[in-house]
Structure 1
């Protein structure tokens, strides 16, 4: 047992952010194949916003410790773990449990963080970076000269998607509220105001022949409009249902409806394609393949960061004990990038 104390944030049920609880305890001891990571940065993603409402598709029963990903240093290692792993900075995708000062992680799930990359910088690119990279390159196969639409271009995933697409040589149309338009234009993005514009009509005016890819995290009925924006050979990547965040009823229903639409569209005789992306897809079938792909893709994202193709977008950094404030800020829609929690 390590002499340090454990601090973690507990989500006790369907609560407002102020209902989060701080719990203290003993630092866990790693079992065979495990390590204890001393957290240096974790983040507030859309998943936690859904979880506190009981709306995330496969969240565990309450109470639990949220936190989708983290960056930190390996403090202790269990039996069977390489000794030289202790003391190294790593990133991990955990889905839950990251909002804690010390986190138990399977050593096989760790991805090294390159020297010279800060913890908060790296944190902004773990789930957001892997999601963006895999959607852009593995799902849509975006190439230079193509035109893509990124919904929520100022958000955590959206801002990374924009940068990776630009680095790939694509032309980007990004939706965001007007206050973010100057920043998007500075990156070479054509902004569309999702609050006041007829978004579909505006995009069709910008790309009369259709676009090569649409990345849609909004879901809901609007997904039909996204499908209609595609040019022949285009790909719609649906990766969320933000429009149903505050809805009542089954949390599985919005995802199942999206999956049904995707199946139907792909069954039609057309030259367009749709897919529903989830970062955990394939993990149950082949954990080793999932880990290999995650390590490869996150390494590519970190390389893009060091090369300058991607800039870490840190909206704010707050201590773990102010998780409620951080969650409120992330939900406000007023910030660009990711809200990061530190120990």
Structure 2
């Protein structure tokens, strides 16, 4: 490989508006022992990057850094100790940061093969969103056929995958979303509820008087209490974000700590309901091999569900990586359904 070869990366220099993102050219990285260099074919804009630019993501690195939570691309080179045959393979990786670049260095153990029949952009929409949805549905709530679940933000990145996976599992799904998304939700067999039209919890109770078996809540804030009260005996609340505090000031850790405290208190009560806070990175620091095996198995299941037609890849827009500012602005506008994909 030519050491002088360059690629583009996007840098988040601090708390800036989208237009404050910086584009720079850097040398293509070299794979070290146990690593691969991936030529990125698609990355994307998730809620995490939107929070990071505000300095509100609870465990983001210090500024400046390259954002980009996940990526799909082709292995360009392999380092010492890595099977050379991996070169040329299309893979997906969950990286948390660093994905908004033309080439990314990744531990070989962290890449997951992408089936040949799935395009890079389509696969990209299913990485962080698909893993999050699959693990919450099947590993945390353990939803089965005949159960009733509530998905808040049913038209969002994670929510849209969640409702499709839940329907494929045979569950009845009640999904909250603004009215303009209701027809699309009904087409998927989802019972829609307008989150802007008054007492959402009361309208959900009217649809499920005996309570629901699971609630998936990315909003947090005061509404998390309503989500807990919607549960039937034996039900599970899965909290996985604090979107309600998106524009709040002060500590970025405090909203998550409050959620964790609520979860602990609810689980300490003598009741037959359960709550958990889902973090896709949980367990990596203590059991990296187990974490990687689970991630590989679950993402493979997500790709298989896509190939069976049980879930779709919802691409809101495809934009060049050099237009990351426009892509971030579009994703934050609330006017699109699906994921904004960046193409280096």
TM value normalised by structure 1: 0.99
Deviation at 1:115, TM superposition (A): 0.9
Which residue of the partner structure matches residue 222 of structure 2?
221
User: Is 1:69 matched up with 2:70?
Assistant: yes
Which residue of the partner structure matches residue 39 of structure 1?
40
* RMSD between superposed Cα atoms in Å: 0.7
- The gaps in structure 1 that reach 5 residues or longer are none
Which residue of the partner structure matches residue 55 of structure 1?
56
Which residue of the partner structure matches residue 115 of structure 2?
114
Query: Could you tell me how far apart the structure 2 residues matched to 1:255 and 1:14 are?
Result: 20
Query: Could you tell me how far apart the structure 2 residues matched to 1:69 and 1:4 are?
Result: 23
Which residue of the partner structure matches residue 87 of structure 2?
86
- SS at structure 2 position matched to 1:279: coil
Q: How far does the alpha carbon of each residue in 1:205-226 deviate from its partner, in whole angstroms, 9 at most, with x for none?
A: 1001000000000001110000
User: Is 1:329 matched up with 2:330?
Assistant: yes
Deviation at 1:197, TM superposition (A): 3.3
User: Is 1:187 matched up with 2:188?
Assistant: yes
Query: Could you tell me how far apart the structure 2 residues matched to 1:197 and 1:309 are?
Result: 32
- SS at structure 2 position matched to 1:99: coil
Q: How far does the alpha carbon of each residue in 1:94-150 deviate from its partner, in whole angstroms, 9 at most, with x for none?
A: 000000000000000000000110001100000000000000000000000000000
Q: How many residues align?
A: 343
Deviation at 1:4, TM superposition (A): 4.0
- SS at structure 2 position matched to 1:220: coil
Q: How far does the alpha carbon of each residue in 1:74-94 deviate from its partner, in whole angstroms, 9 at most, with x for none?
A: 011111110110001000000
Deviation at 1:309, TM superposition (A): 0.5
Query: Could you tell me how far apart the structure 2 residues matched to 1:134 and 1:339 are?
Result: 23
User: Is 1:105 matched up with 2:132?
Assistant: no
Query: Could you tell me how far apart the structure 2 residues matched to 1:123 and 1:322 are?
Result: 18
- SS at structure 1 position matched to 2:75: strand
Which residue of the partner structure matches residue 232 of structure 1?
233
- SS at structure 2 position matched to 1:291: helix
Which residue of the partner structure matches residue 146 of structure 1?
147
- SS at structure 2 position matched to 1:92: strand
Which residue of the partner structure matches residue 24 of structure 2?
23
Which residue of the partner structure matches residue 165 of structure 1?
166
Which residue of the partner structure matches residue 125 of structure 2?
124
Query: Could you tell me how far apart the structure 1 residues matched to 2:145 and 2:126 are?
Result: 23
Deviation at 1:72, TM superposition (A): 0.1
- SS at structure 1 position matched to 2:116: coil
- The gaps in structure 2 that reach 5 residues or longer are none
